[in-house]
């Protein structure tokens, strides 16, 4: 046989061997038909054929078994060969020519179909809080995991989500997404619906005047919100106590139980007004009978304002001690100068205004009004001794006793002189004798007289001086129109410029000086006006009665009718002094 024939024979043999090892057409068709029975993404039946340490081989009727990890079995210790299981076919053949199956995904698909077929959006379903994730909690709904946003966990703010884990609750399905296979649920909506129903029912049971228990839910500056078991009521700060409180936290704490009275109900707005003080009797109801005017009370200073101090007499009742009622003798400008917060004081009830809830109190009334005591001790006309404490332009204040001063008005300082300023005859520290003219306890005023301590020389002027008498005195004042001469008994006489000399005189000071001793004759006595006219030129013995009358008429004509000689003297004296001072100032400049 030729070599060519030999090669052909060998090739034919090789071809025969290969054809002999290939599956038959029937086997190929059967395998293709078997493979086409399996659909990826479907759930198929399986049997555990072998249990290993890390999982189990499951026969699904395909040419090769699939492997399921131990972790996917819910009760792995109880798994044994021959157990029937439903598995999810993820892939008919993987890289190892084995089917890729999942027991866990089969559980989920079955659970998803069961949950979504029985429950829709808006349905209520039970679930268990599993674990926290970003923004909320994963909830197990009978094998299907759902997302519970943190905002839907509870009605109020949640401090710690971990407190809810492992707990079973009812949930409302908010949204189902079939494509993404996820569910969003809410617990808050169920709580709000339940609370709304409960609130409506609770409001129907409430009545004004009822006393109910509640928990302090929140505290603000103006009051506190009380949870009455589903309905929040406002307890305003003004309804917490009959007395004074600065902040609700003085009486309440969040979380504490409190018993309150229902004051008002707004069914439309579902608002309830509460009161705490209304549970006890209003202490102002019988305040007038309990604390009549004149009663001495004891209390504690609870607040101080510049104008007075507030005294707590009892719980819910306060009285005001005004600064004007704190001392009989001292001028109090600020209440804090006398009392302090927390101090226990005794006071007297002066007035009660029940409608306005006001009580006026006095501290000084605890002792008798010293002005009344003085009025009894020093009746009008009594002579007293005292020291000049201070002076004003219109008078001098003299201490009588116990820091009580009496005032000597300038008009009561001299019988004979017109005093324009008390400094003309007095100074602070002087010891003086004065007469009590009047004591007004209500106005707290004592009027004193300095001149009244002496006899009025004008009352018997006729016995002291007569027209034509020669008198001597000292020049005390010089004015443009004359000079004042101090006579005996502190009486001043006026020598008019026309009566100084027989010769014409331009200026009084050219002839007379302060302190000069002069002799003059009385030419006029006006008891009603308290005036004495003097004349130096009438000193001559040849001066007759007719001359005296003529001189008096001359002086009278020179002065304006009704003009007080002393007043005019003061005025001109002041004017001259001011002019001289101005000239002196101009000279310095």
Reduce the DSSP state of residue 102 to 3 states and report it. strand
Report the C-alpha gap between 237 and 256 in whole angstroms: 17
**Which residues partner with 169 through β-bridges?**
127
Phi first, then psi, for residue 553 (nearest 5°) are -65, -35
Paired sense of beta strands 445-449 and 404-409, if any: parallel
- For tokens 């409001």, the residue is 203
Domains, the chain, with CATH or none = 35-108 (2.40.50.140), 119-191 (2.40.50.140), 206-279 (2.40.50.140), 290-359 (2.40.50.140), 370-453 (2.40.50.140), 465-576 (2.40.50.140)
What does the longest C-alpha to C-alpha distance in the chain come to? 215
Report the C-alpha gap between 401 and 386 in whole angstroms: 8
Nearest-CA neighbor of 535 among 586, 567, 498, 487? Answer: 498
Report the C-alpha gap between 189 and 125 in whole angstroms: 13
Write the pLDDT tens digit of every residue in 383-436. Answer: 989 999 999 999 999 998 877 889 999 999 888 878 889 998 899 999 999 999
Report the C-alpha gap between 505 and 467 in whole angstroms: 25
Write the pLDDT tens digit of every residue in 329-377. Answer: 888 889 988 999 999 999 999 999 988 889 999 998 888 888 888 888 8
- For tokens 């349905």, the residue is 123
Report the C-alpha gap between 146 and 177 in whole angstroms: 11
H or E element in which residue 191 lies: helix 188-205
Report the C-alpha gap between 558 and 555 in whole angstroms: 5
User: What is the band of 24 on the pLDDT scale with cuts at 50, 70, 90?
Assistant: low
The pTM score is 0.46
Nearest-CA neighbor of 402 among 326, 327, 308? Answer: 327
Averaged pLDDT for residues 522-549: 83
Nearest-CA neighbor of 86 among 117, 52, 111, 50? Answer: 111
Averaged pLDDT for residues 556-560: 67
Nearest-CA neighbor of 71 among 61, 86, 56? Answer: 56
Q: If you write DSSP's letter for every residue of 404-457 in order, what string do you get?
A: EEEEEEGGGS-SSS--SSGGGT--TT-EEEEEEEEEETTTTEEEEESGGGS--G
**Percent of the chain topping pLDDT 90:** 31
Question: Worst-scoring range by mean pLDDT, 1-10, 306-315, 351-360, 547-556?
Answer: 1-10
With b for 16 or more beta-carbon neighbours within 10 A and e for fewer, the 399-434 pattern comes to ebeeebbbbbbbebbbbbbbbebbeeebeeeeebeb
Determine contact, residues 520/473, Cβ cutoff 8 Å: yes
């Amino acid at each position: 046989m030729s070599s060519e024939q030999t090669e052909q024979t060998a090739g034919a043999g090789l071809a025969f061997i290969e054809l002999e090892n290939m599956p038959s057409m029937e086997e190929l068709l059967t395998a293709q038909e078997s493979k086409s029975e399996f659909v990826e993404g479907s759930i198929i039946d399986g049997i555990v054929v072998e249990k290993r340490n890390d999982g189990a081989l499951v026969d699904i009727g395909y040419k090769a078994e699939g492997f399921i990890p131990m972790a996917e079995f819910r009760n792995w210790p109880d798994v044994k060969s021959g157990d029937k299981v439903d598995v999810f076919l993820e892939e008919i053949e993987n890289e190892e020519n084995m089917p890729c199956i999942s027991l866990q995904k089969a559980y989920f698909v079955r659970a998803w179909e069961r949950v979504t077929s029985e429950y829709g959006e808006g349905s209520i379903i039970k679930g268990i809080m599993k674990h926290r994730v970003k923004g909320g909690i994963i909830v197990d709904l009978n094998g299907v995991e759902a997302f519970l946003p943190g905002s839907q966990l509870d009605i109020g703010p949640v401090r710690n989500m971990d407190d809810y884990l492992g707990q079973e609750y009812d949930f409302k399905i908010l949204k189902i997404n079939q494509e993404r296979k996820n569910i969003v649920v809410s617990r808050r909506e169920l709580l709000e619906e339940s609370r709304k129903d409960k609130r409506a029912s609770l409001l129907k049971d409430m009545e004004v005047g009822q006393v109910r228990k509640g928990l302090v839910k929140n505290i603000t500056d103006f009051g506190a919100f009380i949870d009455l078991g589903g309905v929040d009521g406002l307890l305003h700060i003004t309804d917490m106590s009959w007395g004074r409180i600065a902040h609700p936290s003085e009486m309440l704490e969040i979380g504490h139980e409190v018993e309150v009275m229902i004051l008002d109900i707004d069914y439309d707005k579902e608002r309830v007004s509460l009161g705490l003080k209304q549970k006890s009797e209003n202490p102002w109801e019988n305040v007038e009978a309990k604390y009549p005017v004149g009663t001495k009370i004891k209390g504690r200073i609870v607040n101080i304002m510049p104008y007075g101090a507030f005294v707590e007499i009892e719980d819910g009742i306060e009285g005001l001690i005004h600064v004007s009622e704190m001392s009989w003798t001292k001028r109090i400008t600020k209440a804090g100068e006398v009392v302090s917060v927390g101090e226990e004081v005794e006071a007297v009830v002066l007035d009660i205004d029940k409608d306005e809830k006001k009580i006026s109190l006095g501290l000084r009334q605890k002792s008798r009004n010293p002005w009344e005591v003085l009025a009894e001790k020093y009746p009008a006309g009594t002579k007293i001794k005292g020291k000049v404490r201070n002076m004003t332009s219109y008078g001098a204040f003299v201490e009588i006793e116990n820091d009580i001063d009496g005032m000597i008005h300038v008009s009561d300082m001299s019988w004979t002189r017109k005093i324009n300023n008390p400094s003309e005859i007095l100074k602070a520290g002087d010891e003086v004798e004065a007469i009590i003219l009047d004591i007004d306890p209500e106005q707290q005023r004592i009027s004193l007289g300095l001149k009244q301590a002496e006899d009025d020389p004008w009352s018997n002027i006729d016995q002291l001086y007569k027209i034509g008498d020669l008198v001597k005195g000292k020049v005390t004042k010089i004015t443009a129109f004359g000079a004042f001469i101090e006579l005996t008994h502190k009486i001043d006489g006026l020598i008019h410029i026309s009566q100084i000399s027989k010769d014409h005189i331009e200026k009084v000071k050219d002839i007379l000086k302060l302190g000069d001793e002069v002799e003059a004759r009385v030419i006029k006595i006006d008891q009603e006006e308290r005036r004495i006219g003097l004349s130096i030129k009438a000193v001559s013995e040849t001066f007759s009665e007719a001359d005296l009358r003529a001189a008096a008429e001359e002086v009278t004509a020179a002065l304006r009718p009704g003009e007080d000689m002393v007043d005019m003297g003061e005025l001109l004296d002041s004017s001259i002094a001011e002019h001289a001072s101005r000239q002196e100032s101009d000279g310095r400049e």
